[in-house]
Structure 1
């Protein structure tokens, strides 16, 4: 049985980015994922916001053209509100290629990425192996690993979180999306958003393209998505605004989206959570790519300092309660959004955004920089502690 410093469960963007940062700090890191290929099981549209593009090094060739226009449609689909920024606010990525790039970066830093390995559980208490205190991590059909620390990057319904006794996500949206090729040379891309509780109760339907593919999706509260997410998506896609004529095969994506905010208890002496497992998703916009990268920076700094010093007080810096306080306004707006249950109310909500104040508020949410706390500063304070 081998011993490692850190075992990361989940080879999504959060897990791979955390693994890379830990490996760069000289730690022995293994990443496991039950998928045999990172091109399967993609759940996200891949929309990166301007703040992420400014702060993180994402290869330009993996990103679609910049998007400056957002169109907000009421249930009637008539007279959408167009919001235009003077900067590129969004770019939609080829997520299969992004995951491949993140894997290559993690492996170049020294982390080992093992696919087709299914996590089966972690010991309730520490064990001694090779002279160090570690957790015994079990896998289906593979030898266990003794890990000094476990990072749960295994998604919204994290099993690692449950096994470590950490908080778990309890509030979700469920989303589904169709991806299909589009003809090159189409009009400049825009982000089309439809507020209609009949198709997306508590959230919205969307159409956006990455220059090569159109993404048509819906998301809403699971209990209200009737007669089912897939049928709702197909009905929406049939006449979705801004949808070009499809060509070629269709790819389907989907999965749960945690919208309860960052979880309070994110870390313990055996491990911590990142990405969707940590609830690192904007409660209002349901965007998770920017939060997962930022939280991974803090997670890596805290993990490295804890393993170096053995001081459990270091883990207190990975405080979900402190991060959660930055989301109070968005959590309140999430509850208000969830209360829009009829098309009449949705029409009224969109009408309220047509005035100057409403448009300014919408632009602040859609084009603002406050989607997630600036955690690299906290990471720096952790290293100096």
Structure 2
């Protein structure tokens, strides 16, 4: 359920195991309703085969601004640390890969719930054209024949309905973000990532501009309860005076949505199904980056799912235990709480002052350029027969 990057990547790996895989998504086009900024970090680019022609130029410079926007801290890496992707193209590429592996992808399908079969197992109920699949769970499409499925993978976002219907954990700690994307005639000499720490604009998180010389992504994110002026108003105000000199040079696209930052959920699998991507809380608690963890956890999810479906051994599902994963995120969850507590411009100015020190710059560089924002949830496992 869900044709985002996590759902399509999981579907491809499962289909390559000769499993009968159906992917459904309520969107009629994968270019609609995109919520992610599309920033891929170096670690993801190193570990996963992403289509280079859909990635923008490398970004090595990060500038950290206090609320006053004066004297930003510039951090420069000797490697390309970020590349911004054409996410509509990335989704279509992932869809083609999943379909080439044998998965079926149906768009314009509205998921409506899970029902129990006579055997006491769960199934899915959706609204779509008719489809008859493998036996096990029972799913019904509106004005269509039932769909029978053995397992449900919830890749339906931060507010996952699949999670609720399976009785799994749900995200409760979230940021809300919004951004404007537009082509630019860049005024910067090199691509740059501008980060503004200002609780008046983005309480508990930040405002950002990432300009790779082709497009500029101007965004804000913060805790919903503290964004009293409204995220749309805060975004428009920030964009009017955003750093980097990235005045719009063409059509503007708007994106937005919830970002789970409470860490990987504890209970993310059961005999009826499991969760991947934002639905599982697979987002860095510290940086709020979700593309890298969604790919890593999808690989583990596919390994566990394929093994369980082949053997019926429920013990295998324990290998996808969010409670065990959370122990690796204690430090990041603590820093997330610290960020959430920065509520005044003076406190933010003081925090940036600390980052100007030698030790502070080292910490900032580790967060922004390091490999540990979202650690491996398990040793890299490949589904048997898949590369």
Report TM bin, short chain. over 0.9
Distance change (3 Å), C-alpha of 1:74 and 1:210: same
Asked if 1:126 corresponds to 2:118, the answer is: no
Structure 2: runs of 5+ lacking an equivalent? 124-131
Q: Cα offset for 1:119?
A: 0.7
- Which residue number in structure 2 is paired with residue 218 of structure 1? 220
Distance change (3 Å), C-alpha of 1:218 and 1:132: closer
Which one of 31, 35, 45 corresponds to residue 37 of structure 2? 45
**Structure 1 residues 313-369: Cα deviation after superposition (integer angstroms, max 9, x where no partner):** 000000111111111000000000000000000000000000000000011111111
Distance change (3 Å), C-alpha of 1:181 and 1:309: same
Q: Is the 8 A contact 2:299 2:382 kept in 1?
A: no
SS in 2 for 1:48: strand
SS in 1 for 2:258: strand
Distance change (3 Å), C-alpha of 1:142 and 1:47: farther
User: 1-side partners of 2:249 and 2:134: how far apart?
Assistant: 57
- Which residue number in structure 1 is paired with residue 76 of structure 2? 84
Q: Is the 8 A contact 2:154 2:162 kept in 1?
A: yes
Point out the more displaced range, 372-381 or 167-176: 372-381
Distance change (3 Å), C-alpha of 1:344 and 1:141: farther
- Which residue number in structure 2 is paired with residue 307 of structure 1? 309
Q: Cα offset for 1:140?
A: 4.7
**Structure 1 residues 95-126: Cα deviation after superposition (integer angstroms, max 9, x where no partner):** 00000100000001110000001111111432
Q: Is the 8 A contact 2:200 2:345 kept in 1?
A: yes
Q: Cα offset for 1:137?
A: 2.6
- Which residue number in structure 2 is paired with residue 249 of structure 1? 251
Across the aligned residues of Structure 1 and Structure 2, the Cα RMSD in angstroms comes to: 2.0
User: 2-side partners of 1:139 and 1:370: how far apart?
Assistant: 43
Which one of 41, 62, 69 corresponds to residue 70 of structure 1? 62
Q: Is the 8 A contact 1:122 1:163 kept in 2?
A: yes
Which one of 21, 44, 57 corresponds to residue 49 of structure 2? 57
**Structure 1 residues 261-281: Cα deviation after superposition (integer angstroms, max 9, x where no partner):** 000001000000000000000
User: 2-side partners of 1:358 and 1:272: how far apart?
Assistant: 40
Structure 1: runs of 5+ lacking an equivalent? 1-8
User: 2-side partners of 1:368 and 1:132: how far apart?
Assistant: 44
Q: Is the 8 A contact 1:317 1:382 kept in 2?
A: no
Count of aligned residue pairs for this structure pair: 374
User: 1-side partners of 2:113 and 2:45: how far apart?
Assistant: 36
User: 1-side partners of 2:251 and 2:69: how far apart?
Assistant: 27
Asked if 1:105 corresponds to 2:100, the answer is: no
User: 1-side partners of 2:363 and 2:106: how far apart?
Assistant: 45
**Structure 1 residues 45-83: Cα deviation after superposition (integer angstroms, max 9, x where no partner):** 100000000000001110011111110000000000011
SS in 1 for 2:63: strand
Q: Which aligned pairs between 1:1-385 and structure 2 lie closer than 5 A?
A: 9-124=1-116, 125-126=120-121, 134-140=136-142, 142-183=144-185, 187-375=189-377, 377=379, 379=381
SS in 1 for 2:189: coil
Distance change (3 Å), C-alpha of 1:317 and 1:216: same
Distance change (3 Å), C-alpha of 1:12 and 1:132: closer
User: 1-side partners of 2:121 and 2:135: how far apart?
Assistant: 6
SS in 1 for 2:62: strand
